[in-house]
Each structure stands twice: as structure tokens, then as C-alpha cells.
Amino acid sequence: MSPQLAGVLQLTALIAALALSYRPLGDYMARVYSSEKHYRPEKWIYRVIGANPAAEMRWPAYLRGVLAFSAVSVLLLYLMQRVQGSLPGSLGFSSIDPDQAFNTAASFVANTNWQSYYGEQAMGHVVQTGGLAVQNFLSAAVGMAVAVALVRGFARSRTGELGNFWADLVRGTVRVLLPIAFLGAIVLVACGAIQNFSGIHSVGQFTGGTQEWNGGAVASQEAIKELGTNGGGYFNANSAHPFENPNPLSNLFEIFLILLIPFALTRTFGRMVGSLKQGYAILGAMAVIWLGFSALMMWTEFAHRGPAFEIAGGAMEGKETRFGIAGSSLFAVATTLTSTGAVNSFHSSYTGFGGGITLLGMQLGEIAPGGVGSGLYGMLIMAVIAVFIAGLMVGRTPEYLGKKIGTRQIQLAACYILVTPALVLGFTAVAMALPTPADSMTNSGAHGFSEILYAYTSAANNNGSAFAGLNADTQWFNTTLGIAMLLGRFLPMVFVLALAGSLAEQRPVPETAGTLRTDKPLYAGLLVGTILIITGLTYFPALALGPLAEGLAS
């Protein structure tokens, strides 16, 4: 079987698995977030945190809940790392330095999971499981809660109430993420991923000598890191490590986990707004971009240029032989089109155009299908902008899902789409202008610029993957990347929740003959075009200096 055919079969199997799970999971999540029933364990949690799950919140109160919970999470995770040397199960590792502890705390709470350290050489069992893995659940649940609040903004009328943040947070964790991650961990253990709390032990090497390895609760953390579109991992090699991702079957399953909830949330959206066709339109736009990027990535990585590529069957540098070109390409596209920092290959070693595809995937806003929750609300923001553009073309006040898109709504949407480009391009420009950050680059020229651009794109878009070749464990990068992660995560949420509140207060507008049908393929095409044009106009100059220049020169 040719590698290209194997890639097509993997993609087909992935599509089939996602299609089979789309309806049941999407409908289930709609019931979870629409139910008024509270399970007994959930009531215990509400009692402990002092929350009233039945109290409805307007958008400022909902936002305060998001920010307060996240601030406390950053503080607690920071403190756990700073006192790691005194914790049981530390495996003898010392406490984490302040700048790296801040970077890691910001990273995991912001659902970015950027790691500027060697996981197996820095973090003990307590910090890994009680700190990092816990935030894998909670940061994903926060994103889902904000997405559901925006959906309620479209679904409700003549009220500013968006639900209860604490109820949405707990339900997303207890009813959605925990059970799926539990089953996912079992599958990964069956595939060969490790799950233990062993200490450091020596392992013999084929070439002689020994190497020290430590175990850990790897399968359980791997499951939620992919399911919650988190990223990170126990080991520096991430999902290329055989303890985390043993074989092609586990690799395909992990890609499935990455895409599972973001795609299914479009069904949840359609169910909650009372029109499944609206959910299908959003799904169609996401799927077109994802399939297009997957095809382009496999094409550019399979393209043979020179004897070395011909012998290897494609661009195999930086890729695991057990996954091959196809498995690596599918993983790279899935992880950069979602806010998942997991990688099973070095993106820096991809062809010039292949590296550009990973960059562009993040720069789209990671909305195809995007992160857990963040992908849906990012796509809905773009849907609002697409409706506004269509309204300008025909001279009509734009409407979406029965809500008028007026001055306030478009201002909030515009602020949303300007946040991450300002962070990415601003920090990249400063880093390239200063001598100290530039010293961290392994490469010069276009590829070196791509390393810096990728780092800040990954941080501000809450992805967490790295281009490799960049020494990011410095005070400059730990601090600035941490700031970019926090601002890139929570500042857009301010605009999302404010938009949700303004939509919920409106009266529904009756549909007329002049109303743009947003549940048709034509609108899905308009939405895809809007996304590509806005991203192209924003980032094309920077991409031209980096991956495009490198790709054209090769």
C-alpha cells in the first residue's frame, strides 16, 4: 500500500468516526447545558464553592465568574510549582523558577499548554496530575461555558441573562469531559500508553550505557489533553513519545479526540437555537477549511524534491517513522486548526509551505473546528461579520438568527478579531527588534523569523505547539509569551460575553423575503471566504517574510 493511499484511508476513517459521534454527542451536550437538574456530586461541589447554580447571570456577572475562577487557578498552579520541592511525589525535582512557573500557570489556565521545559525532567507526579491535568479539564470547561453563553445570547430574547457560569463549568467537567476522558484513557492504555506512578529508573540503551526515565499517569493526561484541545504532555517529545502515543492506531485515536467536541458543538449550537440547519452551515464551513488544509498539508509533505525525499517517500525529517507523512500531517493540521499544543512531529522540520500551513491554521483564529468552546464562539463571531458584510453589499441592516447586527454588535465583533493579531504582530516585531530574543533563534533568515512568529501566534491564539529551534526558556519569552496567552484567552472572552448580553436583550426580528438565509451552502461559502480574506489581509505580509519566502526559495 502506498503512503498516499494510507493517508486517504486514515482521513476516511477519521471522517467516519466523527460523523458517527456527531449527532449523539452534540445532542447530549445540548441536553447537559439546557437541563435544570443537578446531580448529587454537582450539588456537593456547589456547596463547597458557595455557588447557587439556579441563579441566572447577566454578562458582567458571568464574566466576573470566568475571570475570578481563572485568576485563582493561575495563582494556585503557580504556587504548586514554586513549592514542588516540598511536595510528595516530586521525584526529587526542585521548585520551578518564578518566570517559568508564571509561564506554565498562565499557559495551562489559558488552555494553551505551552511548555518551555522538559516535562520528564521538571515536573513531579503531584504537579502533573493535581495541577496540570486538573487545569486540562477546567480550562476546557471554561471555554465550553463561554461558548454556551454566546449560544444562549442568540437563543434568548428580551433578557440579558446568559445562564450560570458555575453550573456550566461544573456540568461541562462532570458530565462531558470526565466520562469521555475516562474512556479515552482506557483506549490509550489498551494501545500501549503507560499509566503508573513509578519513580525514576535506569533503562539500558542499544548503544551501551543507560538512560533515566520516569513513569506517570500518562494515558489519563493524554486523553484530556487531546479531548480538551489542551496540548502539553508528560514528556518533551510530546505526542511523538512512545509512552504517550505508541502506534498509528493511538495516533489516529488522538486526532479523533482533538476534533470530537469542537465539531459536535455545532450540533449543540443548532439544537439550542432551534435550527439544526444553522449548525450544519457552521459545520460545513469548518469542515471545508479542515479538509482543505489536510489535503494541502499532505500534498506539500508528500511532494518529492531530490533523492533524499524520493528514498524516504516524502519529507520525513522531524517525523516519526511509525506515523509517517500522512499520520503526521493529519495531526499537525488538527492540532493547529484547534487550540491544541500537542504535536507528534517537529513543525519546524516541515517544508516551507507545510510550516506556513500550520501557522495559517492558528492565524485563522483556530476555528476549523477550533478549540473546545473557543472554536465555536470564534466561528460565530466570524458568522456575525460575514452577515454584516453581506448586509453592506445589498444595503440592508444585517440579521443573524433573528437578531439585528447593529453598531454595538459589529464593534464588539471587530474588537474580538483585532485582539490576537495585535498581540502576535506586536510581540513579534518587538522580539525581532531586540538583540536578546533574537539570540534564542537556532536559525537565521526566513526560518528564524518563522520561529518567532510561530511562538507568538501559538501563544496569543492559545495553541501551545512550538516550531522547535527556538530557545523559549528565557525570562523574555517566559514573561511575554505568558502575557500573550492570558490576554489572548481572556480579552476576547470579554467581547464574546458582551456580545452575548447585547443579543439576549434584543427582540427577535421576523424573517422576511429580504432576510439572508444563513442556513444554506451559499452562506457557508461566504463565511469561508470572509475568514480567509480577513486572515490573509491581516497576516500575509508576515507570512511572506517567513514561510512563503522559505518555501519559494526551496
pLDDT at 510: 84
Inside any domain, residue 14: no
Inside any domain, residue 532: yes
Q: Which residue has the cell 454578562?
A: 59
pLDDT at 123: 86
206 pLDDT band (50/70/90 cuts)? low
| Torsion angle in degrees (nearest 10) through CA of 408, 411, 417, 423 | -120
pLDDT at 28: 97
Cα separation of 518 and 527, whole Å?
Answer: 10
Cα separation of 140 and 529, whole Å?
Answer: 28
pLDDT at 87: 86
Q: How many CA atoms lie within 13 A of 162 on its CB side?
A: 31
pLDDT at 469: 73
- Measured at the CA of 106, the angle between CA 224 and CA 381, to 5 degrees, comes to 75
If we measure between CA atoms, which residue out of 336, 332, 278 comes closest to residue 527?
Answer: 278
Cα separation of 552 and 352, whole Å?
Answer: 8
In terms of average pLDDT, the best of 2-6, 275-279, 355-359, 432-436 is: 275-279
pLDDT by residue (tens digit) across 442-482?
777 788 888 889 889 999 999 988 877 777 778 888 899 99
- Measured at the CA of 216, the angle between CA 211 and CA 220, to 5 degrees, comes to 140
pLDDT at 447: 80
If we measure between CA atoms, which residue out of 308, 342, 118, 306 comes closest to residue 230?
Answer: 342
pLDDT by residue (tens digit) across 355-386?
889 989 999 988 999 999 999 999 999 999 99
213 or 141, higher pLDDT: 141
**Lookup: cell for 221:** 493526561
Please state which of the ranges 230-244, 252-266, 304-318, 349-363 shows the lowest mean pLDDT: 304-318
Q: Give the DSSP H/E element, type plus range, for residue 93.
A: none
231 pLDDT band (50/70/90 cuts)? confident
Cα separation of 34 and 172, whole Å?
Answer: 12
Inside any domain, residue 484: yes
93 pLDDT band (50/70/90 cuts)? confident
Cα separation of 389 and 409, whole Å?
Answer: 13
pLDDT at 89: 79
Per the DSSP assignment, residues forming a β-bridge with 345 are: 319
222 pLDDT band (50/70/90 cuts)? very high
Cα separation of 368 and 291, whole Å?
Answer: 9
Inside any domain, residue 526: yes
Please state which of the ranges 206-220, 224-238, 287-301 shows the lowest mean pLDDT: 206-220
State the total domains in the chain. Answer: 1
Inside any domain, residue 495: yes
304 pLDDT band (50/70/90 cuts)? low
Inside any domain, residue 458: yes
Mean pLDDT of 272-276: 95
314 pLDDT band (50/70/90 cuts)? low
Q: Give the DSSP H/E element, type plus range, for residue 498.
A: helix 475-504
pLDDT at 15: 96
307 Cβ partners below 8 Å, 6+ apart?
none
DSSP output for 68-117: HHHHHHHHHHHHHHHTGGGSTT-TT--PPPHHHHHHHHHHHHTT-----S
- Give yes or no for a contact between 314 and 3, defined as CB atoms under 8 angstroms apart: yes
Inside any domain, residue 403: yes
Please state which of the ranges 142-156, 171-185, 492-506, 528-542 shows the lowest mean pLDDT: 528-542
Inside any domain, residue 234: no
At 345, phi and psi to the nearest 5?
Answer: -160, 165
Q: DSSP 3-state assignment of 371?
A: coil
pLDDT at 554: 63
pLDDT, the chain, mean = 90
pLDDT at 306: 53
**Lookup: cell for 285:** 464551513
pLDDT at 397: 75
Cα separation of 371 and 365, whole Å?
Answer: 9
pLDDT at 120 over 80: no
pLDDT at 326 over 70: yes
In terms of average pLDDT, the best of 224-238, 352-366, 389-403, 494-508 is: 494-508
554 or 247, higher pLDDT: 247
pTM above 0.85, yes or no: yes
30 or 217, higher pLDDT: 30
102 pLDDT band (50/70/90 cuts)? very high
281 Cβ partners below 8 Å, 6+ apart?
518, 519, 520, 521, 523, 524, 527
pLDDT by residue (tens digit) across 387-440?
999 888 877 778 999 999 999 999 999 999 999 999 999 999 998 888 877 677
- Domain range holding 418? 373-553
83 pLDDT band (50/70/90 cuts)? very high
219 pLDDT band (50/70/90 cuts)? very high
DSSP output for 412-451: HHHHHHHHHHHHHHHHHHHHHHSHHHHTTBSS-HHHHHHH
